[in-house]
Amino acid sequence: MNNTGPTNSSPHLLSPFDLHGLPLRNRVVMAPLTRARAGRERVPNDLMVEYYTQRASAGLIIAEATVISEQGIGWVDSPGIYSDAQVAGWKKITTALHAVGTPFFLQLWHCGRASHSSFHGGEPAVSASAVKLNGDSIHAPNGKQPYETPRALETDEVAAVVDDYRRAAERAKAAGFDGVEIHAANGYLINQFLDSKTNQRTDRYGGSAENRYRFLKEIVEAVLTVWPANRVAVRLSPNGNFNDMGAPDFRETFTHVATQLNAFGLAYLHVVDGLAFGFHELGTPMTLTELRAVFSGPLMGNCGYTQESAEAAIASGQADLIAFGRPYLSNPDLVDRFANGWELNPPADLKVWSAPTAEGYTDFPFHQPS
């Protein structure tokens, strides 16, 4: 796991980082890519052990989005963290990564309206409000299906979902993770509460930016009963339109959210600031510089970064860490390729994301000297 080389042109990106006492060998983070290799029971398996250990030269790995409960499911064969078998499966991976000194965070996920009734015994998915996702279709257990109108969570149901996050955080600790990342981005349940486009509630969880933030606030507070603040992170996507997101007041909303999160002393704030995953075009994009003004902890950029742009972001102080997603699909040795100036493998066909086999998962080649 060589992190430096004679052609190293990224001294900042490849430098060590102290994440509140957790040593990272470099500032390259493997982003929480959603994959689909856990099977019907959503139990991490030996193929997943191989996949993550292949990519262990990252400074930090964030596990793929992992559902906190059966209610949170919205992706075929994605892993979970709500059963003892799932905990045992993840324990194999955390043990393998810790054996080579790689820190590992678990991303806690609830899909909300980005789901389908066929995942839930015919019952509708839940969301902040009964606002249908405007999209082509969803890959459901019974094949591609049109999106459906979700059911708004009742006010007295919210506390149970918050407690699901707490229990998932407990299981993540039992599985040996180094911390957890709360997925509040990309149009999933927490994002649906944050965004005024999808949150049309009139109770204490709707209306003002403060009220729309309340759900995330309660989740963070619940997770902090399990983990210290410096091992809890949050992911946001202020610019994203994935899963039909984006509201005109996005800048006000996410400035408020980042300002409030700053008070917790979190491990880091993970921001999908790049536009390569889609931009809602409702104003000029929010930047890491804007968020740095209100969030004083470690800041992680994400989405569309190259080695060069990542180096520039860290060198300038805009970011402390950069998460790479798609480059990690086809380049298990991404850090070594950066360090030595080796060419990257061709980008992976995105059809491999949800394939159930090793093909397109663990079969991408490491660099071979010529």
- Terminal Cα-to-Cα distance of the chain (whole angstroms): 19
Residue 1: partners with Cβ closer than 8 Å, 6 or more residues away = 25, 56, 57, 100, 335, 336
CB 235 within 8 Å of CB 272: yes
* Whether 188 is catalytic: yes
Q: Report the alpha-carbon distance of residue 292 to residue 258 in Å, rounded.
A: 9
Give 144's DSSP letter. E
Single out the residue of 116, 123, 115, 111 nearest to residue 66, CA to CA. Answer: 111
Q: Report the alpha-carbon distance of residue 97 to residue 24 in Å, rounded.
A: 13
* Token pair recorded at residue 53: 């250990």
- Give the length of the chain: 370
- Measured in degrees and rounded to the nearest 5, phi and psi for residue 355 equal -70, 145
Q: Which of the following is catalytic: 51, 52, 147, 188?
A: 188
DSSP letters, 334-362, are: HHHHHHHTPPPPPPPPGGGGG-SSSTTTT
Q: Report the alpha-carbon distance of residue 359 to residue 346 in Å, rounded.
A: 15
* Residues noted as catalytic: 188
